[in-house]
Amino acid sequence: MGLFPALLALAAAAGTTRAQQAESSVSYSGISVQASPQIFATMCALEAAGYDVGEAGLANASPKRLALRNELLAAKGPAADALRAFYRAHALEDSAETLSPYMTFALVAGPPPLFHVQGERESLPPGVLAIDGFESVLSAFYAEAQLDRRWAELQPQYEPLVDQYRLALARTATLVNAYLREVLRPSSGRTFTVDFEPLVGQRTNFRNFGDAYTLVVGPPSDASADAIRHAYLHFMIDPLVLRNRGPLEKRRTIVDIAARAPQLPAEYQDDIVGLLDESLIKAVELRLNHLTAEQLQGALNDADDSGFVLVRPLLDQLRLFEKAAPAMSYYFGDLIEGIDVDTERAQLKALIARAPAPETAAKTQPPPEEHSASERDQWLAEGDQQVAAMDGAAAAAVFQRVLSKYPNEPRALYGLAIADVLSGKAEDARHLFEKVVSLSIPGSPASAGGPDPAVLAWSHVYLGRIHDLSDERDDAIREYLAARAVEGAPEAARSAAQTGINGPYKPPQAGGGSQQ
């Protein structure tokens, strides 16, 4: 049993995105393609500050695009100086991680020239809070650099590619909806927007804020086409999985098996909703790709090796779905029930058997730093197993061992908090959850770059529950809102946070189920 599912049962012991009406080329209400002045202005500011778009981002760039880049790099003035100082203070080693909060900001910001972000501060995505103050910096630079004039000059060049994306999105929506036999109803209020901005280069950025899904893409390419289909599949399949969360929880054995698969990303190891969601999307993609038998086998082996061992059985169930009559929303329960747990357990054993033997691994061992990370992951997995066995003392010993060698390791701090929960040390658990949350603040001493979204979101949830148990409702709501706002948080954590917002947490009665 993974760490996060175990927490759902153990917690009691701790005491507007801008989606417009679709164009005629996209016949589904709520689905659109557009060019965004907010994203354009944000990317201009980043380039002026020195953000590296990469060679791919400038490949085949138009003369006007290159001229704009040179002008931005040469921009001078008080606002440009303030912008560059702000950027240097918030830059990260990885360019994609540097870009992420700015892109989130651009998706929730109001129109130029003020770029006012709407909504209460507590409800904003954490990425926006990480660059707090950028709104005024961007507004000043927008005026000083006359970005309104540059936008007016370049926008006509966008329209042919926007039309190209409209056609591509229409084809994707038609293909996916036909395969799933689903119809997007106008009354649903759900939106899917593709924002085209060539300044982002070949990087794609996908966000969803509630029922509003947005994908930011650069110049058309095979990669951007794949990204649109993958994002649109999330848009269509996410609600189906969430509506069936109850039946999925009853089939938790499935995720317990998959969680032991080598190389499965940590964010999915304890999130049955996210794991089934992503695995089903990957399986649908394989069916839509019409691969040869050899190509399909290679793709399935890749899915197994990356830990997504549910893709293979879901693919088999999709073949049966294709022969059936109902839409996926009606067939979904049968699809999940059709997965044979015993078969998947045997498949996992075979997968583990394919892993390199110790002597082989020793010959091809990674550099020392990577080897240490592997050791750390093994210890963390051992601690998770002790948590699943409800042995608080043994789990605490393992996580303390991790922290002695890797101080401020977020997953170890989190695991130790849960071990304290098991041992009845509610106040100690509270301090540890608070420390995990503090590691998400830029400049914190986290050894691994801060807690991952699942660890951070669940820490907020359990802090909220602890506050509720102490009759500190305002503090509890703040924690639940923070959990729901964590970018990349698993749906199970978001659901638990929303439940906490709807009403104070109440521990389950003896013999009863846990509050979700």
Rounded distance between C-alpha atoms, residue 339 and residue 344, angstroms: 8
Whether 460 contacts 483, CB under 8 Å: yes
- Indicate the average pLDDT of the chain: 80
Helix (H, G, I), strand (E, B) or coil at 500: helix
Confidence tier at 346 by pLDDT (50, 70, 90): low
Does residue 106 have a pLDDT over 90?
Answer: yes
Confidence tier at 127 by pLDDT (50, 70, 90): confident
pLDDT tens sequence across 414-465: 889 888 877 778 788 888 988 888 887 765 555 445 678 888 888 888 898 8
For CA atoms 371, 377, 379, 381, give the dihedral sign.
negative
Tell which residue, 253, 313, 258, has the closest CA to residue 286.
313
Q: What separation in angstroms does the CA of 145 have from each of 68, 75, 139, 151, 179?
A: 11, 7, 10, 11, 48
How many residues would you count in the chain? 516
pLDDT tens sequence across 386-398: 776 667 788 888 8
Does residue 514 have a pLDDT over 50?
Answer: no
Mean pLDDT in residue range 99-105: 92
227-232 contacts, C-beta under 8 A, 24 or more apart: 228/165, 228/168, 228/169, 228/172, 228/194, 229/172, 229/176, 229/285, 229/288, 230/281, 230/285, 231/192, 231/206, 232/169, 232/172, 232/173, 232/176, 232/192
Mean pLDDT in residue range 42-61: 78
Instruction: For residue 353, count other CB atoms closer than 10 A to its CB.
Output: 8
Whether 145 contacts 48, CB under 8 Å: yes
Does residue 365 have a pLDDT over 50?
Answer: no
pLDDT at 510: 39
pLDDT tens sequence across 260-290: 666 778 778 777 788 889 999 999 999 999 8
Whether 104 contacts 125, CB under 8 Å: yes
pLDDT at 341: 66
pLDDT tens sequence across 187-201: 678 999 999 998 888
Rounded distance between C-alpha atoms, residue 46 and residue 86, angstroms: 10
Rounded distance between C-alpha atoms, residue 236 and residue 178, angstroms: 12
The rounded percent of the chain whose pLDDT value lies above 70 is 79
Rounded distance between C-alpha atoms, residue 419 and residue 354, angstroms: 33
Tell which residue, 150, 127, 132, 117, has the closest CA to residue 47.
150
Rounded distance between C-alpha atoms, residue 170 and residue 28, angstroms: 8
Ranges of CATH 1.25.40.10 domains, the chain: 3-14+370-502
Does residue 353 have a pLDDT over 60?
Answer: no
In SS3 terms, 140-199 reads as HHHHHCCHHHHHHHHHHHHHHHHHHHHHHHHHHHHHHHHHHCCCCCHHHCCEEEEEECHH
Q: What separation in angstroms does the CA of 137 have from each of 100, 146, 280?
A: 17, 14, 42
Q: Is the link from the previous residue into 247 a cis peptide, with omega within 30 of 0?
A: no
Give me the half-sphere count of Cα atoms (radius 13 Å) on the Cβ side of residue 98.
Answer: 20
pLDDT at 208: 87
What strands lie across the sheet with 212-217, from one edge to the other? 31-34, 191-196, 212-217, 205-209
Query: Under 8 Å CB-to-CB from 353, ≥6 apart: which residues?
Result: none
pLDDT at 1: 33
Rounded distance between C-alpha atoms, residue 65 and residue 69, angstroms: 6
For CA atoms 40, 45, 46, 52, give the dihedral sign.
positive
Does residue 315 have a pLDDT over 90?
Answer: yes
Mean pLDDT in residue range 221-230: 92
pLDDT at 161: 93
Rounded distance between C-alpha atoms, residue 391 and residue 394, angstroms: 6
Whether 261 contacts 304, CB under 8 Å: yes
In SS3 terms, 232-284 reads as HHHHHHHHHHHHCHHHHHHCHHHHHHHCCCCCCCHHHCCCHHHHHHHHHHHHH
Query: Under 8 Å CB-to-CB from 24, ≥6 apart: which residues?
Result: none
Q: How many Å is the Cα radius of gyration of the chain?
A: 24
Let me know the angle formed at the C-alpha of 501 by 497 and 502, rounded to the nearest 5 degrees: 115
Partners of 31 in beta bridges: 192
Confidence tier at 344 by pLDDT (50, 70, 90): low
pLDDT at 38: 97
Q: How far is CA 490 from the centre of its chain?
A: 7
Better-scored residue on pLDDT, 348 or 406? 406
One CATH from 1.25.40.10, 3.40.50.1820, 3.90.1150.10, 3.40.50.720 for 3-14+370-502 = 1.25.40.10
Q: What separation in angstroms does the CA of 60 have from each of 127, 161, 202, 385?
A: 31, 14, 12, 52
Which residue type occupies 196? F
Which of 228-232, 251-255, 370-374 has the least mean pLDDT? 370-374
pLDDT tens sequence across 147-174: 999 999 888 989 999 999 999 999 999 9
Let me know the angle formed at the C-alpha of 397 by 392 and 399, rounded to the nearest 5 degrees: 95
pTM confidence score: 0.65
Rounded distance between C-alpha atoms, residue 315 and residue 335, angstroms: 10
Q: Which two tokens stand for residue 225?
A: 């086409």
Whether 107 contacts 119, CB under 8 Å: no
Confidence tier at 371 by pLDDT (50, 70, 90): very low
